[in-house]
């Protein structure tokens, strides 16, 4: 089966979208090909997010990921997830688009990052389930 391409988009591609990319690769790499990008970038990924993901999944995002522009995403995606940045994302071709409306945990205590990571994990699992059940239709190329 062809993996479903999913991209997580946020303004700076430095926190929530990076966390979502890393978590997807850890819990659903058999189903999803995960990417992330932003309309702007930061010099480095949010270091609190890096630390939390390292503690939860033993993944060092400083080694495996970097802040990227949406121009680096594949030309055609199956699924596009916006993280809730309160900005209008440019048009990116996809079969399904959804906004997760997540508040940015930057500058907040670890509990907020942990909660954000847990919400992201549950939303990834729900997304996978909805695709598998046919609730979300993805074109098979």
Catalytically active residues, by annotation: 10, 85, 89
Among candidates 5, 77, 8, 79, which has minimal Cα distance to 38?
8
Rounded to 5 degrees, what angle do the CA atoms 132, 138, 141 make? 120
Going edge to edge, which strands form the sheet with 32-38? 32-38, 4-10, 77-82, 94-99
């Amino acid at each position: 089966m062809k993996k479903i391409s999913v991209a997580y988009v946020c303004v700076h591609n430095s926190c929530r979208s990076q966390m979502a990319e890393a978590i997807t690769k850890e819990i659903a790499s058999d189903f999803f090909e995960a990417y992330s990008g932003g309309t702007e970038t930061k010099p480095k990924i949010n270091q609190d997010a890096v630390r939390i993901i390292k503690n939860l999944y033993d993944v060092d995002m400083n080694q495996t990921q970097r802040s990227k522009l949406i121009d680096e995403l594949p030309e055609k995606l199956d699924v596009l997830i916006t993280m809730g940045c309160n900005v209008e994302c440019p048009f990116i071709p996809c079969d399904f688009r959804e906004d997760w409306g997540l508040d940015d945990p930057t500058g907040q205590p670890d509990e907020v990052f942990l909660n954000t990571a847990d919400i992201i994990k549950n939303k990834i699992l729900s997304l996978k389930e909805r695709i598998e059940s046919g609730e979300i239709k993805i074109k098979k190329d």
